[in-house]
Structure 1
Amino acid sequence: MEHCDGGNKRDDGPTEHPALLGHGGCRLAVGRPDWVYRYDKEVDADHCHCYGPVRRCGRGQGAAAAAPAQQKPVDVPYLPVPAMAPPIKRSTSEVVKVALETIELDGKLADGAAYHFWTFNGTVPGPMVRVREGDTVELSLANKTNSSVGHNIDLHAVLGPGGGASLTNVSPGQTKTMKFKALHPGVYVYHCATPPIPMHISSGMYGLIVVEPAAGLPPVDKEFYLCQGAIYTAGKAGDPGMQPPDLARMADERPSYVVFNGAVGSVTGDRALKANVNEKLRIWFGVGGPNLSSSFHIIGTVFDKVATWGSLSALAEHVQTVTVAPGGATMVELMSPVPGTYLIVDHSLSRLEKGAAGQLVISGPANPDVFSQVG
């Protein structure tokens, strides 16, 4: 296929998906014979910003993108488990300094398949940020020198235009710092908001910021951190090899993968959530998106308390399934009196085949009074 050259004027014609355009001179970042991938280098509203796979680019001379050839399986490790911040134990407000770095790296997507992730601090989701209501937060965002694109951060807990995105636009090698006051307690998503925003989010650039109420939260025995996201690849779920992104699928909201914590199986086996019977558990859960809501459910449990829509002000009780919008979050608390392996799902259950499954492993003695076979 023909590739548009850097510097095509915007009035030469849009790409096939103009809603995904950014602004800036085009430069080829990664090349394969079956897909095109371009990015900003310097902000310039007079030039187009082209991404791929694209079917039309520049004046529209590009031919339809060919289907990717079948690749050989690859063996790369999962990205590290995302860091979860500990509970706040102080009773006064402070200045909290947070340092995030945007890192682009290859990681396991599924057995035999890999993806080039864009991340905060090298994990999907990025690390949990946790502050207290009334805290002043100084957040520094650094973009690693070898990054291929510019990034920024929009925190849904921030009061101000763009949630901080306009204050944190960083080209490769740059660092910028913003300050904000955490005024609303709750569970909030943060994500990269550099165009095309869906591409940055789908590639892994999202996480949670928790603003604890000034009065604090009641203690629990264990906490866990999960996020759901969708990934749009040129190959279908299960295809081997390094999988390139597919913006046509993204624009049509047809993900190849729907996963917890960035990859198929990343919350199973040795990476499963683990606890003991009768322990009080708290799960912080968010949906990066970029497009799909989640029907968050753990088969065989009932959530004792739920932070509906991420609000910590009034908790719902005895809830089976929690609907979480893209760019939304929640907190659930539960306790299981029965040991076993419990399946974590998005109850839009066709997404199981796309990877939306995790495990909560509860250890301890059997409890036949609560759960047993009688026939």
Structure 2
Amino acid sequence: MLGRQRIAVSVVLASAAGAFAPFLLFPKMLRLDSQPDSRPDKPVASESPGSSKKLVFISPSPALEGHETGSDLDFYETLDQDYSEAIAHLPVEEAILTTAPHVPPPITRDYPVLLRVSLTAYTKLIQLTNRYQYEQWTFNGTVPAPFIRARVGDVVDLTLTNRDATGNPHNIDCHAFTGPGGGSALTTAEEGETKAARFRLLRPGIYLYHCAAAPVPVHIANGMYGLMYVQPAVPGGGEGLPHADREYYVMQSEFYHEPPEVGDDGRPSRTVEFSYPNGLAEEPAVVVFNGRESAATRDAALRARTGENVRLFFGNAGPNLTSSLHVIGSCYRRAYRDGDVLGPPARFVSTVSVPPGGATILDMKMVVPGTYTLVDHAIFRLDKGAVGFLNVSGKPRPDIYGSQEPPAPCVGCKLHS
């Protein structure tokens, strides 16, 4: 299926603009079926109430065929036109927000909505490592912040409330938003304030969002970041990517802290504090997945069964280090590098490089049961906490992986369990 897909849609044309509004965001995708070569700049909705016309919804099929065409890109180029009147009539939907490693279910609708997203900024003392506690700066009390799933054409109705008792201002810079500061100038909230703004999503992909209040590196380094996935526009409500049996949300980041203070009794404190000099020197004490040591190991390991397709939505908050994400013993059958879901994915890749502020989508098929380890292949970071497990159950495959001897991981090994 090259270029566009066409789906016939019966629409009852009513005098009220609201009945037609969801399609007004995509005028280049609508034409009267009786005019196969006509592409009006605006949908024609002048029929008397109760009459009906058959319309053809024309939309690209990104990622499904593993390639893009010029016409697919033209589709997204048209989305920056002014459709203010249509936005006023969009149906309203509350965003499903999930905490890592969970991902909201795929969006199945084939029309845009006003998507309400509510975030609250406050600090929270957490167990950063086995040894130390640390006060993280959070959105909605989690690091990383909630995963947000949307669709091209949606208008994000974002509300940010600042309940940070330390007095710091906070805001949202989302890489999926179009406009100065990625929304930060519109959403900066002082302690006790709530700010609201709207942003229309013009392009698909996986994007980082983070606090960009001054000093920006400090807000990111302390935990204020998350991912937003903007699904492509697919006719009939398709997801836009090949089917995945399981989807997981994983983010890598660093934490920079001072040595623990020593109390009057000579014992070091169990709580450590942020170190700006260490951040400036790019010397992290901790490099972790999903905000803390062991967040993706032990009882919190990711899970799958043999034969399943597993998708990772992976982001790197940094703020300094590039990640070389590798899953030991597997490969990415599809790697949507830099979050690009329009171009062809890389195929059968073992390691991907994700810069600070970047994100990617990675698909694997689990064939052999066992424990697969997620690492940053800048491998000394393993001992700083950058490790996660994917436990795969199922029937052994000695035709692919086998020996006369049982597996024998070394004592204390972090790579296999």
- TM-score band, normalised by shorter chain: 0.7 to 0.9
2:258 to 234, 249, 254: 234
In the alignment, which residue of structure 2 is the partner of 1:323? 353
Question: Aligned Cα RMSD in Å?
Answer: 1.5
Report how far residue 144 of structure 1 moved: 1.2
Alignment of 1:25-64 (within 5 A): none
Q: Counterparts of 2:269 and 2:201 in 1: how far apart (Å)?
A: 44
Selected match of 1:302 from 328, 331, 334: 331
Instruction: Say whether the 8 Å CA contact 1:82–1:126 is kept in structure 2.
Output: no
TM-score using structure 1 length = 0.76
Give the secondary-structure state (helix, strand or coil) at the position aligned to 2:333: strand
Superposed displacement of residue 374, structure 1:
4.9
Kindly report which structure 2 residues correspond to 1:111-130, keeping only aligned pairs within 5 A, or say none: 111-130=130-149
Q: From the superposition, tell whether residues 117 and 265 of structure 1 become closer, same or farther in structure 2 (CA, over 3 Å).
A: same
Q: Which amino acid counterpart does residue 131 of structure 1 have in structure 2?
A: A
Which consecutive unaligned segments of at least 5 residues does structure 2 have? 1-98, 261-267, 406-417
- Residues 101, 248 of structure 2: 8 Å contact kept: no
Q: Which has the higher helix share?
A: 2
Contact 2:112 2:154 in 1 (8 A): yes
| Aligned 8 A contact 2:151 2:231 in 1 | yes
* Distance (Å, rounded) in 2 between the aligned partners of 1:214 and 1:135: 10
Q: CA deviation at 1:85?
A: 2.1
What is the correspondence of 1:1-375 to structure 2 with a 5 Å cutoff?
Answer: 81=100, 84-144=103-163, 146-215=165-234, 216-217=239-240, 218-235=242-259, 241-314=270-343, 315-374=345-404
- Deviation, structure 1 residue 219: 2.3
Shift of 1:325: 0.6
TM-score (norm 2): 0.69
Residue type of the alignment partner of 1:225: Y
State the Cα distance separating 1:270 from its structure 2 match: 1.0
Instruction: Compute the displacement of 1:89 (Å).
Output: 0.9
- CA contact 2:174–2:182 (8 Å) conserved in 1: yes
Question: Which segment drifts farther, 83-92 or 225-234?
Answer: 83-92
CA displacement 1:213-238 (0-9 Å, x = unmatched): 001333211100000001000028xx
State the alpha-carbon separation in 1 of the partners of residues 216 and 370 from structure 2: 40
Instruction: Mark the structure with the bigger radius of gyration.
Output: 2
Cα distance in 2 for residues equivalent to 1:143 and 1:290? 22
Mapped to 2, the partners of 1:87 and 1:205 lie a distance apart of 25
1:69 maps to: none
Matched-pair identity in %? 42
Relative to 1, partners in 2 of residues 1:172 and 1:179: Cα closer, same or farther, differing over 3 Å? same
CA contact (8 A) 1:187 1:208 kept: yes
Question: For residue 37 of structure 2, what is the aligned residue in structure 1?
Answer: none
Q: Which residue of 2 aligns with 1:62?
A: none
Distance 1:358 1:82 in 2: 11
The count of residues paired between Structure 1 and Structure 2 equals 294
AA at the equivalent of 1:331 = I
One-letter amino acid of the structure 2 residue matched with residue 352 of structure 1: L
Aligned partner letter, 1:233 = H
Tell me if the contact between 1:186 and 1:210 (Cα under 8 Å) persists in the aligned partners: yes
- Alpha-carbon deviation of 1:269? 1.0
Q: Is the 8 A contact 2:100 2:146 kept in 1?
A: no
